[in-house]
Amino acid sequence: MKKLNLSVVIALLALSMAAIGCNKVSEEVVLAKVNRSNITTADLKKQMEELSPQMQLAVTTDPKARKEFLEDLIGIEVVLQEAKRQGLDKDAEYKKKQDALKKELERRIQEEAKNELFNTLLKKELLGKIKPPTDEEVKEYYTKNRAEIKKATGKDMTQKQAEEKGLKNYIYQKKQRDAYLEYANGLKAKAKITMDEKALETAVAALSQAPASTLQLQQPTVVPAAKEEKKDEKKKEEKSK
């Protein structure tokens, strides 16, 4: 098989995925009927996203590979239909796992939503107000914290060397962090907050205890008795000499 240039592969892949498109109408096109279920362009696109770039390229450029991929989707569908026919989707253990999976997915969605909301407000309140450090600010920080920089890096650096190691970016991130803390502390001051330190201590203690199954105790090395006897005999011989 002739080797493909990576840039060509990426370009072809981008074009082929664009051809599948995000158009709602095109995604509803039925590619295959399996009893009472349909396999649509949307199903094809979803499954293709799980493939490696090489496999995606093969499916989008080779008619034979494309048909084989659809055959695989049909195979998956008939197996799923058979599982349902046998009532496995009503199995207690299966339903228990599905409920746990749903809860985990809901938790992840809620966390993502919180992150998005958090970042949206910070962008609104702080974006544009925090400027990158000026040359004077960098010089001042370096002068005041030269000893700390030396302690952190293990060597005494000039300002130029420190900047090459990312000092400006570090100061900028610190300014962002300080601005966030100031903003959050201002909100805390207006909020009614209660803390249960005893409950916190109990929770941390419980979380810090590793399950017994994860503990790996190193067994002491036991030397067989025969080897110990030989060692003793060798020592006696050496002494007699």
Q: Residues 143-152: pLDDT tens digits?
A: 999 999 999 8
Give CA 44 to chain center in angstroms: 25
Mean pLDDT, all residues of the chain = 81
pLDDT score recorded for residue 26: 77
Which pLDDT band holds residue 235 (cuts at 50, 70, 90)? low
Q: What percent of the chain has pLDDT over 70?
A: 76
pLDDT digits (tens, 9 = 90+) for 45-58: 999 999 899 999 99
For the cut 50, the answer to whether the pLDDT of residue 96 exceeds it is yes
Q: Residue ranges of the domains in the chain?
A: 6-88, 135-190
For the cut 50, the answer to whether the pLDDT of residue 85 exceeds it is yes
Question: What's the count of helices (H) and strands (E) in the chain, helices before strands?
Answer: 11, 2
pLDDT score recorded for residue 218: 38
Which pLDDT band holds residue 231 (cuts at 50, 70, 90)? low
In this prediction, residues 105-128 reach a mean pLDDT of: 94
Token pair listed for 12: 């072809």
Q: Is 34 helix (H, G, I), strand (E, B) or coil?
A: strand
Q: Write the CB contacts of 13 (distance below 8 Å, at least 6 apart in sequence).
A: 53, 56, 57, 60
Token pair listed for 222: 């036991």
Q: Could you give the CA distance from residue 130 to residue 137 in angstroms, rounded to a whole number?
A: 13
14 DSSP assignment: H
pLDDT score recorded for residue 6: 45
Q: Could you give the CA distance from residue 79 to residue 83 in angstroms, rounded to a whole number?
A: 6
For the cut 60, the answer to whether the pLDDT of residue 25 exceeds it is no
Stretch (H or E) spanning 16: helix 6-20
Contact status, residue 65 vs residue 18, Cβ threshold 8 Å: no
Q: Could you give the CA distance from residue 60 to residue 132 in angstroms, rounded to a whole number?
A: 46
Which residue type is seen at 86?
Q
